[in-house]
Amino acid sequence: MKIITIPALTNNYSYLIIDEVRAEAAAVDPADPERILQAVLAHGVRLTSLFITHHHPDHTRGNIDLVSRKPSLVVFGSDARIPEISYVVRENMPFQLGSLAVTPYSTPGHTKGSVSYFVTDGHDKALFSGDTLFVAGCGDCVEGDVNELFYSLTKVIATLPPDTNIYPGHEYANKNLSFALNVEPNNEFLQTQFQLARGQSVVVPTTLAQEMTYNPFLRTSEPSVLLNLKVRSPLEAFKRLRTLRDHFG
Task: Give the pLDDT confidence of 191-222 residue by residue, as tens digits.
Answer: 999 999 987 877 899 999 999 999 999 999 99
Q: Is the pLDDT of residue 155 over 90?
A: yes
The residues annotated as belonging to the active site are: 54, 56, 58-59, 110, 131, 170
Q: What is the mean pLDDT of residues 146-154?
A: 98
Domains of the chain: 2-246 (3.60.15.10)
One DSSP character per residue, the chain reads -EEEEEEETTTEEEEEEEETTTTEEEEES-S-HHHHHHHHHHHT-EEEEEE-S---HHHHTTHHHHHHH-TT-EEEES-TTSTT--EE--TT--EEETTEEEEEEE--SSSTT-EEEEEESSS-EEEEEETTEETTEE---SSS-HHHHHHIIIIIGGGS-TT-EEEESB--HHHHHHHHHHH-TT-HHHHHHHHHHTT-S----EEHHHHHHH-GGG-TTSHHHHHHHT-SSHHHHHHHHHHHHHT--
Q: What is the mean pLDDT of residues 103-128?
A: 97
Q: Is the pLDDT of residue 10 over 90?
A: no
C-alpha to C-alpha distance for 225 and 145, rounded to whole angstroms:
22
* Per-residue confidence (pLDDT) for residue 128, from 0 to 100: 98
Instruction: State what percent of residues in the chain have pLDDT above 70.
Output: 100
What value does the mean pLDDT of the chain take? 96
Q: What is the mean pLDDT of residues 105-126?
A: 97
Task: Give the pLDDT confidence of 61-112 residue by residue, as tens digits.
Answer: 999 999 999 999 999 999 999 999 999 999 889 999 999 999 999 999 999 9
C-alpha to C-alpha distance for 232 and 236, rounded to whole angstroms:
7
Task: Give the pLDDT confidence of 216-239 residue by residue, as tens digits.
Answer: 999 999 999 999 999 999 999 999
* Per-residue confidence (pLDDT) for residue 179, from 0 to 100: 97
* Per-residue confidence (pLDDT) for residue 13, from 0 to 100: 96
